[in-house]
């Protein structure tokens, strides 16, 4: 019984850690962006970081100007984006 509980707790922890965390794309490093946004790798994270530091992004749709970010990708990451300056 204890083994089953431990397995369930472990599965829960793994599933929770698979979710992305919110990230301020105006101030975050490419590594922070890549770590926080599910499906965003180092190259796209670097492009997001550069673009938002230059243009000061204020809404999710601003990221559509970044090469490699389309409507589908934006929809997946939108809830984890923050835009504080």
What residue ranges do the domains of the chain occupy? 20-82
pLDDT at residue 14, as a whole number? 43
Of 19 and 35, the one with more pLDDT: 35
pLDDT 10s digits, 44-81 = 999 999 999 999 999 999 999 999 999 999 999 999 99
pLDDT at residue 7, as a whole number? 54
pLDDT above 50 (res 3): yes
Please give the full DSSP string across 24-80, using - where no structure is assigned: ETTT--HHHHHHHSTT--HHHHHHHHHHHHHH---SGGGGGGSTT--HHHHHHHGGG
Phi, psi of 81 (to 5 degrees): -95, 140
Take residue 13 and report the two structure tokens written for it: 């922890």
Task: Find out whether 53 and 63 touch, Cβ atoms under 8 Å.
Answer: no
CATH class of 20-82: mainly alpha
């Amino acid at each position: 019984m204890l083994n089953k509980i431990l397995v369930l707790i472990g599965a829960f922890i793994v599933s929770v850690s698979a979710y992305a965390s919110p990230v301020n794309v105006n101030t975050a490093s490419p590594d922070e962006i890549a770590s926080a946004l599910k499906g965003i790798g180092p190259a796209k994270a670097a492009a997001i970081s550069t673009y938002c530091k230059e243009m000061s992004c204020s809404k999710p749709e601003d990221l559509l100007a970044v090469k490699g970010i389309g409507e589908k990708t934006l929809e997946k990451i939108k809830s984890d984006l923050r835009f504080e300056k």
